[in-house]
Structure 1
């Protein structure tokens, strides 16, 4: 099985107000993911707040994660950075620490062209010398990968997968068929956007890059396994239980909601990095209600 397959659970990265990572708290979260049976851990993705952390703190997080999992589960490390040389250094750090793969979004203050993104990702993939997943996250990066660009990247060494947003028109099956007709065999196509996970998995995508699995891995594993087994009724039943939480993800952004969840579940009590503010009492109550429905 390819590295980029099944459920990739993306954890938050607990840190104090100065950006110092609480490696013990991170290890506790990752241990839950290992125990639940996810296929991989996504570390320092958008959910992991990579953009808010220094290179040294990102190194500490990766080293702690690799020590915690001790070879039980692959760790995919986000290495996004504004500068190409910085992203290359982060890729080398991840490889040295023992990461299994890399995840790269084209961060930039200045809008990027296709050629700039191609050269950026190619350079980081060469530096990291690990299987790399392209992170197509236009809501954050303001850059949307075209099919043509993904096809060009998929033919380059070390580039093995793409993490896609949900298609605007909801036709995951059509998008998968279109892209698979053009990319090399074995190149993985996965999706983020947890509220569309059931549809994407049932349509036959290779991977679910899951936010919620970072804190509720057992429930996310159950949904993944039902969908991948073709058990439509069970996948839909589990997805319906998640709907109030999916609605909160859409309303507030999953990053804010995950910090609220971590507190309410008693897993770790830290605020998101500033300038992101924690949810207020009324909205926290809504998150609690959504968690209760999932538990039921």
Structure 2
């Protein structure tokens, strides 16, 4: 089995306007994921707004989350930074606190070359000793990992997995098959992009890195378990109930929608860090309506 498999759920990091972590709300979010028995937790990913938090705030968030899990669920934590030395510090912090792996993106203000990204990832893996997951997120970083670069990085000791974007459901199977040919056995291949994730799991991906799973883990776990058991019809049936949320993700961004879901579910009333604005009232009503329809579908 791959190092990472199943559902990796990505919660928000609730903070106040000054960036102070709301530890009570964070623990409530983590407790929900533990109750749902997700396979791993993706802390301080893009949904966890890691790039908006200081090193101290990141450490506090990880410490609280690990304490809440009690070591029962692996925690994968974002360790990205603009500078390689800063990313190494974040990765060392994560290792010292007990994270299972670090999620590392090619974040930069200046465009990066493949060789620069290779050195960045190799240095973080080598100098921190923390297992590293490649985070390919071109929509945010404007850098896309080529097959040649993935193949090089997959041979670096300590780089153990990749979180791929999904451009379209029809392309996933071919992409997965091609990527399997260039990485070592046991190297975990996973996908984000929630509205295409069911197709990825049916195609045989190891891991679904899920935004919705961080706030509504139960239906996402249902999709993953059905796909793992070969019940593709059931996986698609559950996915179909989530289409209203997928459409809202596409319209407003998954980040803004899950902050609203946290409010509707009465977990917390945190807003994303400025300059990201919360959804307007009309859009929040759409999210609440979509959640109500999902609950009705789950009962029927």
Pick the TM interval, shorter chain.
over 0.9
What secondary structure does 1:171 align onto? helix
Does the 8 Å CA contact 1:79/1:90 hold for their aligned counterparts? Answer: yes
CA distance, structure 2, for counterparts of residue 126 and residue 32 of structure 1: 34
Question: Once the two structures are superposed, what CA deviation does each residue of 1:116-172 show, in whole Å capped at 9, x if it has no partner?
Answer: 100001111112212210000000000000000000000001000000000357311
In structure 1, the residue matched to 2:53 is 53
Deviation of the 1:39 alpha carbon: 0.4
Deviation of the 1:177 alpha carbon: 0.9
In structure 2, the residue matched to 1:30 is 30
Question: Once the two structures are superposed, what CA deviation does each residue of 1:202-236 show, in whole Å capped at 9, x if it has no partner?
Answer: 00000000000111011211111111111111111
In structure 1, the residue matched to 2:152 is 152
What secondary structure does 2:163 align onto? strand
TM-score normalised by the chain length of structure 2: 0.97
Question: Once the two structures are superposed, what CA deviation does each residue of 1:74-123 show, in whole Å capped at 9, x if it has no partner?
Answer: 00010010000000000000011111111001111111110010000111
CA distance, structure 2, for counterparts of residue 29 and residue 92 of structure 1: 25
CA distance, structure 2, for counterparts of residue 128 and residue 284 of structure 1: 42
What is the number of residues matched between the two proteins? 296
Deviation of the 1:50 alpha carbon: 0.2
Does the 8 Å CA contact 1:26/1:65 hold for their aligned counterparts? Answer: yes
List runs of 5+ in structure 2 lacking aligned partners.
none
1:230 aligns to 2:193 (yes or no): no
CA distance, structure 2, for counterparts of residue 31 and residue 127 of structure 1: 32
CA distance, structure 2, for counterparts of residue 168 and residue 234 of structure 1: 21
Question: Once the two structures are superposed, what CA deviation does each residue of 1:1-31 show, in whole Å capped at 9, x if it has no partner?
Answer: 4331110000100000000111121111001
Aligned pairs (5 A) from 1:179-194 = 179-194=179-194
TM-score normalised by the chain length of structure 1: 0.98
Does the 8 Å CA contact 1:3/1:74 hold for their aligned counterparts? Answer: no
CA distance, structure 2, for counterparts of residue 75 and residue 2 of structure 1: 15
CA distance, structure 2, for counterparts of residue 4 and residue 293 of structure 1: 32
